[in-house]
Chains A and B, each alone.
Chain A
Amino acid sequence: MYEYDEFDADFVNQRALQFGRQVESRLSGKLSEDQFRPIRLMNGLYLQLHAYMLRVNVPYGCLNSAQMRKLAHIARVYDKDYGHLTTRQNMQFNWIKLSDMPEILLELASVEMHGIQSSGNCIRNITADEYAGVAAEEIEDPRVYCELLRQWSSLHPEFSFLPRKFKIAVTGSEKDRAVVKAHDIGLRLHRNENGEEGFEVFVGGGLGRTPFIGKSIRAFLPTEHVLSYCEAILRVYNQLGRRDNKYKARIKILVHEMGSEAFSELVEKEWAEIKQGALALPQAEIERVREFFAPPAYEALPEEDPDFEAQRKAEPGFALWARQQLAAHKRAGYAIVNVSCSPVGKPPGDISSAQMEGFADLADTYNFGEMRVTHNQNLVLTDVRKRDLFDLWKKLVALGLATANHGLIGDTICCPGLDYCALATARSIPLAEKISERFADPERQAEIGEIYLNMSGCINACGHHHVGNIGIVGVDKKNTELYQLMLGGSAEEDASLGKILGPGFDEDGIVDAVETVINIYIDMREPNEKFIETYRRLGPEPFKDRLYGAPA
């Protein structure tokens, strides 16, 4: 993974020291809250319902074991012994003291971490496919471009005060695990008819109160132009994006209102001016960054491991886990391991200090000391030898990290909701817990098959409810939580937005409603048909009719 050079290290250290002085100024009264708020947000520090909340960037979801141990240390010493994995592949802490922040930032800087640009109207943490570099079907490793984008966007003087926050995601596979079409900019690496690598560029995607699927504004962008093209997009947005109304300030509104073709013309015009300038990437620079992501020292192994096969036959729990949690690796004899942080009846994405430390040890033992955070609030070990899987599984069981629900109904995306968040209008975590309990039986989950259930505690949609196959959004109706059900969303390459089915339900009613939807799907599906496919074939009517009664 990328390692800081002297410039990076000095910048992050200086920034930690600077924020330390700003905290002192705040505590002594030299800065008012109004003056301090934008400064603390620029460093990832929010004030939530119960305390300050610190969001720590995990660049495109990549962590090493030393960093994970440091996050565990921060959770134990400065927080309440746990952290929370976010949908931008970051980790946040819910109980931070302002007076501890100077120390915490220096601790983070010591392992090349920080919270800079994890909040505020700037370019946020770049996200990527969690299988980057190892997926069997991958075209090219997106991390190289994520890192170049990270360096370009860090403290970019022109883009530090955008009309609104700005999110970029990159994928290098046909299969989209990075939700690129729900981002301000989504980049999809692919090959053109001449076999050259480049990006398809999507803009104006996003969720929140006005959701849109991103529009493709360029089918093929040569990789060396990725920075200049993004700069052109940001320039057009920065000049024309609305600043008079927070709710209409995202690029998606601009693209929607002016039309993607008109927007694209402006971008191309701007790009023509700058494409041969300082941002054009020399191949040598791309190769220099690529070296940071060179494959680890893989062994030459046969694809199948006889012990692994025998262990699966002997141990049903292991077989179940292996069936659900493993993905195909590009190297023979290796597997990608999905590690669920959504255990039955527990908050999705929460991980204790002990689990973080135990997981860091497993990364050292089995995975070249590295790991990934996913936007689904889980973890991934990317490079595990098949012959190590049984030992790894036993240790994950001991850590409470061996739930076998990857891509199933128990593996929900869920925002913190009204249990923590100052913006939320309803709780979301208790619902996720109840739904995972209702569908706790692994055989039942397996019978239901691949399905994505996403939920948010308000219309801001941090829980990505619009792109869940089943989406739930909580609202406040006369001081009572009410949950609306939507169906038909997809976060993948066939991205779509779910549609609200009808009137909302109370907390128990929504869990029953989800079960009804699932039962209808099971009754009406064709052989091997996924939930989203059945929904697209049938439309909402059968679900509506059963939940609300057929129209007279």
Chain B
Amino acid sequence: MQQVVIANRLTDGVVVFLGRNRCWVESLDDCPPTEQTDEASALLALGVKAEEEQEIVGPDLIEVASHQGTLVPVKMREAMRARGPSTRTDLGKQAGN
């Protein structure tokens, strides 16, 4: 199982992922998943720390899978967060705004 840490950025609520170099990034493309349980726990701990430091809100581990060469969340709810509303494809990450 591949996992990443998801959260909302504190200042604007935008969905972010814990990416390379322990930076919060807006796209899953910039976010290498882990398959190791220990590493996942360590990443989540970083998320909790970032919440304590007013960077993000609500860190959570989610499952992701490779789909046509792109990483997507397995759960529909998180897929919606990673993409934007399905009913307004002109808005959110899917539209780059």
Q: Which residues of A contact B (CB under 8 A)?
A: 26-29, 32-33, 47-52, 80, 95-99, 347, 418-420, 424-425, 427, 429-430, 433, 476, 479, 481
Known: A26-B54, A27-B54, A427-B87. Contact between A418 and B13, CB under 8 A? Answer: no
Among A49, A80, A98, chain B packs the most CB atoms within 10 A around the CB of A49
**Shortest distance between the CB of A82 and any CB in chain B (Å):** 9
**Shortest distance between the CB of B27 and any CB in chain A (Å):** 14
* Chain A residues, CB < 8 A from B85: 50, 419-420, 429
**Shortest distance between the CB of A26 and any CB in chain B (Å):** 7
The verdict on B97 contacting chain A, using a C-beta distance below 8 Å, is yes
Complex: A28 Cα to B55 Cα, angstroms? 10
Which one of B17-25, B29-37, B38-46, B76-84 is at the A interface?
B76-84
Q: Name which residue of chain A comes closest to B52, CB basis.
A: A32
Interface residues of B in 30-80 (CB under 8 A from A): 51-54, 57-58, 74-77, 80
* Chain A residues, CB < 8 A from B13: 47-48, 50-52, 96-98
Known: A50-B92, A419-B87. Contact between A27 and B80, CB under 8 A? Answer: no
Complex: A479 Cα to B52 Cα, angstroms? 32
Complex: A27 Cα to B10 Cα, angstroms? 8
B57 and A33 contacting across the interface, CB-CB below 8 Å: yes
* Chain B residues, CB < 8 A from A47: 8, 13, 57-58
A418 and B76 contacting across the interface, CB-CB below 8 Å: yes
* Chain A residues, CB < 8 A from B91: 80, 95
Complex: A430 Cα to B89 Cα, angstroms? 12
Q: Which residues of B contact A (CB under 8 A)?
A: 8, 10-15, 51-54, 57-58, 74-77, 80-81, 84-88, 91-92, 97
Complex: A429 Cα to B54 Cα, angstroms? 33
B84 and A481 contacting across the interface, CB-CB below 8 Å: no
19 further interface pairs, Cβ-Cβ under 8 Å (given A51-B14, A99-B11, A479-B75): A26-B10, A27-B11, A29-B54, A32-B52, A33-B51, A33-B57, A49-B80, A50-B92, A51-B12, A97-B11, A97-B13, A98-B10, A418-B77, A418-B80, A419-B85, A419-B88, A427-B87, A476-B76, A481-B76
* Chain B residues, CB < 8 A from A49: 15, 77, 80-81
Complex: A48 Cα to B92 Cα, angstroms? 13
B11, B54, B80: which contacts A419 (Cβ < 8 A)? B80
Complex: A27 Cα to B14 Cα, angstroms? 15
* Chain A residues, CB < 8 A from B81: 49-50
Complex: A281 Cα to B84 Cα, angstroms? 50
Complex: A42 Cα to B54 Cα, angstroms? 21
B84, B87, B92, B97: which contacts A429 (Cβ < 8 A)? B87
Complex: A261 Cα to B76 Cα, angstroms? 45
* Chain A residues, CB < 8 A from B97: 80
Is chain A's interface secondary structure helix, strand, loop, or mixed overall? mixed
* Chain B residues, CB < 8 A from A425: 77
* Chain B residues, CB < 8 A from A476: 76
Q: Name which residue of chain A comes closest to B78, CB basis.
A: A49
18 residue pairs A–B, Cβ–Cβ below 8 Å: A26-B10, A27-B11, A29-B53, A47-B13, A50-B14, A50-B15, A50-B81, A50-B85, A52-B12, A95-B91, A97-B11, A98-B13, A347-B88, A424-B77, A429-B85, A430-B86, A476-B76, A479-B74
* Chain B residues, CB < 8 A from A33: 51, 57-58
Among A27, A33, A347, A430, chain B packs the most CB atoms within 10 A around the CB of A33
**Shortest distance between the CB of B26 and any CB in chain A (Å):** 11
Complex: A49 Cα to B15 Cα, angstroms? 8
Q: Name which residue of chain B comes closest to A29, CB basis.
A: B54
Complex: A98 Cα to B80 Cα, angstroms? 21
Q: Name which residue of chain B comes closest to A96, CB basis.
A: B13
Q: Name which residue of chain A comes closest to B14, CB basis.
A: A51
Complex: A80 Cα to B15 Cα, angstroms? 16
* Chain B residues, CB < 8 A from A51: 8, 12-14
Complex: A26 Cα to B51 Cα, angstroms? 11
Known: A27-B54, A427-B87, A479-B74. Contact between A99 and B8, CB under 8 A? Answer: no
A347 and B87 contacting across the interface, CB-CB below 8 Å: yes
B10, B15, B76, B87: which contacts A430 (Cβ < 8 A)? B87
Q: Name which residue of chain A comes closest to B90, CB basis.
A: A80
Complex: A80 Cα to B92 Cα, angstroms? 10
Q: Name which residue of chain A comes closest to B57, CB basis.
A: A33
Complex: A425 Cα to B11 Cα, angstroms? 26
* Chain B residues, CB < 8 A from A28: 54
* Chain A residues, CB < 8 A from B58: 33, 47
Complex: A97 Cα to B12 Cα, angstroms? 4
**Shortest distance between the CB of B15 and any CB in chain A (Å):** 6
Q: Name which residue of chain A comes closest to B91, CB basis.
A: A80
Q: Which 10 A-B pairs have the closest CB atoms?
A: A51-B13, A419-B85, A97-B12, A52-B13, A429-B87, A29-B54, A99-B11, A419-B87, A49-B81, A33-B57
Q: Name which residue of chain B comes closest to A23, CB basis.
A: B11
Q: Name which residue of chain A comes closest to B74, CB basis.
A: A479
**Shortest distance between the CB of A102 and any CB in chain B (Å):** 13
* Chain B residues, CB < 8 A from A27: 10-11, 54
**Shortest distance between the CB of A63 and any CB in chain B (Å):** 24
Q: Name which residue of chain B comes closest to A49, CB basis.
A: B81
Q: Name which residue of chain A comes closest to B77, CB basis.
A: A418
* Chain A residues, CB < 8 A from B12: 51-52, 97-99
Complex: A476 Cα to B13 Cα, angstroms? 25
**Shortest distance between the CB of A406 and any CB in chain B (Å):** 23
A427 and B11 contacting across the interface, CB-CB below 8 Å: no
Q: Name which residue of chain B comes closest to A347, CB basis.
A: B87
Q: Name which residue of chain B comes closest to A97, CB basis.
A: B12
* Chain A residues, CB < 8 A from B80: 49, 418-419
**Shortest distance between the CB of B37 and any CB in chain A (Å):** 22
Complex: A424 Cα to B87 Cα, angstroms? 15
Complex: A49 Cα to B54 Cα, angstroms? 19
